[in-house]
Amino acid sequence: MIKILIVEDERNQRILLKNLLQKENYKVIEAENGNEAINICKEEEIDLILLDQKLPDISGIEILKKIKEINPLNTVIMITAFGNIRDAVNSIKEGAFYYLTKPINPDELLILIKKALENLNLKKEVENLKEILRQKYSYEKLIYVSKKMEEIMKVVFKASKSDANVLITGESGTGKELIAIAIHSLSKRKDEKFVPVDISAIPETLVEAELFGYEKGAFTGAEKRRIGKFEFASGGTIFLDEIGNLSLPLQAKLLRVIEERKIVRIGSNEEIPINIRIICATNKNLEEEIEKGNFREDLYYRLNVIRIHLPPLRERKEDIPPLTEYFIKIYSKREGKNIKGIEEDAMKILMKYNFPGNVRELENIIERAIVLADREYITKEHLTNLLNLKREYKKEGKLFEIIQNVEKEIILETLRKNNWIQTKSAEELGISERVLRYKIKKYKLEKET
């Protein structure tokens, strides 16, 4: 339940406000002076504060400052007498959401509260996103010792000093999003939002609404206005993953965003200025997609200002040991186990393996090995059933049978890696969904429970 704190020294005014808000199913807390309000804010998490400008002990501005010090997200609506509008305007400069003049119009107050709570939810969403990103990613989590990654990081440092568009290419699982995070974290926008958008994970019919937002009534089901990712990311960085999956009509709209730095919500004619840095990633060869007519050449040149290509893990195998140690540390802690490391024979198996799923596959293998491990070290036995190499094919078997076995293993591992999402798996395998469904049926493949 939404908690609203009323800070008002006039008892009758408090009662009127309390009755109005309780009818709207808000939980109401009262304070008759500034010190009481400050103490309540220290002890409880308040969603919204209605603060009288003039109180007997402390001025409204001073209370506002202290409330904001306790929690910068505290949302405050100032209440002022008609003659004190200048003070109310000053309070907005100090962080108040807005102000109302006495006598209070109940309808106006309820509308303002609704807007203030929407603003609060947006701020909380931003803070939650920042916290998730802080926990999930950080510059220090880029683990590497290889020369190839050292060279890439030199480009990352240079890219972070610029505001130019960046195109990151590489196979699935190579860490393209981590590189995007690193560029953002080292840039002048580091204290602003980083907004990742996986184009391939959004149904094609919803991509435009997700990116550009929409107005109430713009289409069936649009019950209220919703801002899109471009608008949400303004001030910070937007990361468009799998940009090669963007439809041609939306490619044209993205080009317009890049050129004009403005967006228009669906169902609106209003142009909204945005200030964003755009980083894109793809596992497709965009030059080939241009030749096929699937990708706009003018958009490609706009995106490809700074190019970073991430090599697959099989081309930088010296990074496997430090990455393995890092994942063991992370997942043994998460599983509450005391796994000290990996045995030499087990590491040799990892070093010989080609990792078609790259770093993401290595992480998944170590996570599963930690779950299975019943000793202090990961052994080769823990890995045997987790790798694509896990089944030995008899050399005396027919070539056709060997090829079928290999195909079956590749399809199964690709499905596992993509959580059995057939659209993504088929694309990665370079076959149609119809062919993939046929192969699943042919090889009697089933998702593990």
The C-alpha torsion from 47 through 49 and 50 to 56, rounded to 10°, is 160
Residue type at 296 in one-letter notation: R
**Spatial separation of the C-alpha atoms in residues 414 and 420, rounded to whole Å:** 8
- What is the rounded CA–CA span in Å between residue 254 and residue 247? 10
User: Architecture of 3-129 per CATH?
Assistant: 3-Layer(aba) Sandwich (3.40)
Are 3-129 and 314-390 the same fold in CATH? no
Provide the pLDDT for residue 393.
Answer: 40
Burial class (CB in 10 A: 0-12, 13-18, 19+), 7: buried
Architecture of the domain whose range is 160-310: 3-Layer(aba) Sandwich (3.40)
Tell me what pLDDT residue 46 has. 94
CATH 1.10.10 at 399-442, yes or no: yes
Q: Where are the domains of the chain?
A: 3-129, 160-310, 314-390, 399-442
CATH (residue range 314-390): 1.10.8.60
Strands (E), 322-409: 341-342, 377-378
The one-letter code for the residue type at 352 is: K
Given this model, what pLDDT does residue 136 score? 52
Half-sphere exposure of 318 (CA within 13 A, CB side): 7
3-class SS of residue 240: strand
What's the pLDDT at 396? 41
Q: How many angstroms separate the CA atoms of 280 and 208, rounded?
A: 16
Q: Which residues contact 403 (CB under 8 A, 6 or more apart)?
A: none
pLDDT along the chain (449 residues), means of 10: 93 93 95 94 93 88 91 89 70 87 91 92 70 53 86 92 97 93 92 93 91 90 90 96 96 96 94 96 96 97 97 95 92 88 92 90 90 87 68 45 74 86 84 83 81
